[in-house]
Structure 1
Amino acid sequence: MSHSIYPALFISHGSPMLVVEQTKTTRFFESLGEALPIPRAIVIFSAHMDSRHEVIVTAAEHPHTVHDFYGFPEPLYQLNYPAPGEPNLAQTIASKLSEAGFPVFLDPKRGWDHGVWMPLMLVYPNANIPIVQVSIDANAGTEYNHRLGKALRSLREEEVLMIGSGGISHNLQAYFSPDSLPENEGKVQAFTEWVHRHLEEGDRDSLLDYQSLAPEADFNHPTQEHFLPLLTILGTSDGKEIRRIHSDLDNRVLALDAYQFS
């Protein structure tokens, strides 16, 4: 076992169309795997596995690819990401979470949602790194989801890459509005730059209270699920050496920032 701390990441996974289009964010994902050490496994928290009352941990040896989106071109529904699961690591995660007071369910059947397979298909196209997905709980608030990361922080000393997959902003109503107004871009920028500043400063308390303190928080996150994976990954970190490694904006309103926690 290596005792060097592996990087952790927060990524804005964006639209499923990223896997069939060539964009700035597509190219970022494609280069990201080359910039990172090769982990023995990946543990990922996605905005799209949101579970009340218990933490779900995927425990299948070969989880299936879930196409949990609607209205996209047919080729997207044919995509498959056949990376293996890691049942032993899933059991270790369940034990760590139980010790920290979380109720846990090891799910032997659940597959990976698009917040998992879509970016990883670009980052690690060989699909040869084992993956375990862990749920968030958008109803439990920021502190709960931050503690989730803290409970699993030690995995970063075991060659495990921890990833939060969500969106630094996520207002789909504004995104799909036919008149996406120019002022939306200003609202997104005000929020994302606030987040950037407080991450760089390691100001955990302000980030955990982002709904009260951040400008345009309700506009950027009408619901919390896409922001909470960032706070979970912050929980795996000592709050030092956090840097933004990607920035992009889709349709003036969907910010696609990514952060590395060194």
Structure 2
Amino acid sequence: MNRQPSLFISHGSPMMAVEKSKTSVFLSRLGKQLTKPDAVVVFSAHFDLADNIVITAGKNPETIHDFYGFPEELYSIRYPAPGSPELATDIAERFIQAGLNPVLDEQRGWDHGLWIPLRLMFPEATIPVVQISINSRLGAQRNFDYGQLLAPLRDNNVLIIGSGGISHNLRELFNPQPTPNRKEMVQAFTDWVSQKLGSGDTQALLNYMDDAPYVLFNHPTQEHFLPLIAAMGSGKNGSAKKIHQDTEYDILAMDAYLFA
């Protein structure tokens, strides 16, 4: 049985679905470089719930276009990857054994934090996918714990992906008077993350809200960073290799990491 890695991917703007970029090229290549998984499990920034853990359990989930004001062509895109009710049930049981209360949702579809990167990585859309909600209200440790519960799946050829953004400040992106040192603040934060991931300093990353430089500038809200924490939880030893680096629009860092 193949052992899959755990990945963190920055999915960026929905325009990546229709525009070629360094990150879209990277994701297309990454899908070809990986051993084909039997299934993919995704923690997405756009599935952030305050209540119980929700696990997608439908056989044929729909494609959700959960964004506004973009070109019409984006809204016609479908990613018809199947779900896996069997894997969803397996995952739910792992959460139950840990004393948690997951909910299996047969109606939930694929949000753009899932389908945009997976459409580039696995365009054939034949690999079954299960999506698990994050909870930005519970903080880093709990989302790390979610990832840890799923780490054994990697030994069964299941690829685990956290899909978010190393930096994600949309208010600054549309700021008519850009913050003068915004590039430097993004660089300082992403360098800190890279150093801590490279050295396997899990505790520092779990304390990122207190320890990381310019954290609230890079993440005014936390939903785009916590998928990294979940992926790190699935990474077992906590250390990661940076496999992609780019910045779009000055401040959207698009870094990606692999936990072997």
- TM-score (structure 2 length as normaliser): 0.98
Aligned to 1:211: 209
Choose the corresponding residue for 1:50, options 42, 48, 51. Answer: 48
In the alignment, what sits opposite 1:185?
Answer: 183
Deviation track 1:172-205 (CA, whole Å, cap 9, x = no partner) reads 0011123434511100000000000000110000
Paired position in structure 2 for 1:86: 84
Question: 1:48 aligns to what SS in structure 2?
Answer: strand
1:245 is aligned, of 224, 243, 246, to 243
Partner of 1:149: 147
| Superposition deviation, residue 211 in structure 1 | 0.7
Q: CA deviation at 1:140?
A: 0.6
Aligned residues: 260
CA contact (8 A) 1:164 1:229 kept: yes
Runs of 4+ in 1 over 4 A off after TM superposition: none
**Contact 2:201 2:239 survives alignment (8 Å):** no
Matches within 5 A, 1:24-43: 24-43=22-41
Number of the residue aligned with 2:171: 173
Aligned residue number for residue 259 of structure 1: 257
Counterpart-to-counterpart distance in 2, 1:252 and 1:152: 35
Letter in 2 for 1:36: L
Shift of 1:215: 0.5
Letter in 1 for 2:215: A
Q: What is the identity, as a one-letter code, of the residue corresponding to 2:250?
A: R
How far did residue 103 of structure 1 move? 1.1
Q: Is the contact between residue 238 and residue 259 of structure 2 (CA under 8 Å) also seen in structure 1? A: yes
Cα distance in 2 for residues equivalent to 1:79 and 1:224: 28
Q: Deviations 1:100-139 (Å, cap 9, x if unpaired)?
A: 1221000011101000001111111110100000000000
- Unpaired runs of 5+ in structure 2? none
The answer (yes or no) to whether the contact 1:199–1:239 under 8 Å persists in 2 is no
Q: SS at 1:118's partner residue?
A: helix
8 A contact 1:182–1:252 mirrored in 2? no
**What are the superposed Cα offsets for residues 53-92 of structure 1, whole Å, 9 maximum, x if unpaired?**
2100000000000000000000000000001100000000
Q: Which amino acid aligns with 1:252?
A: D
Q: Which amino acid is 1:191 matched to?
A: F
Alignment RMSD (CA, Å): 1.0
Structure 2 CA distance, aligned partners of 1:43 and 1:26? 20
- Corresponding residue number in structure 2 for 1:135: 133
Contact 2:56 2:130 (8 Å CA) reproduced: yes
Q: Please, which of 18, 42, 54 is the counterpart of residue 20 of structure 1?
A: 18
Question: d(CA) in 1 for partners of 2:227 and 2:99?
Answer: 19
Greater shift in the superposed pair: 175-184 or 111-120: 175-184
Q: Say if 1:11 and 1:258, in contact at 8 Å, map to a contact too.
A: yes
Distance (whole Å) between structure 2 residues aligned to residue 205 and residue 17 of structure 1: 35
The residue number in structure 1 matching 2:74 is 76
Q: Deviations over 1:193-247 (max 9, x none)?
A: 0000000110000000001100000100111100001000111112355110001
- Equivalence for 2:105: 107
Residue 195 (1) aligns with residue 193 (2) = yes
* 2:117 matched residue in structure 1: 119
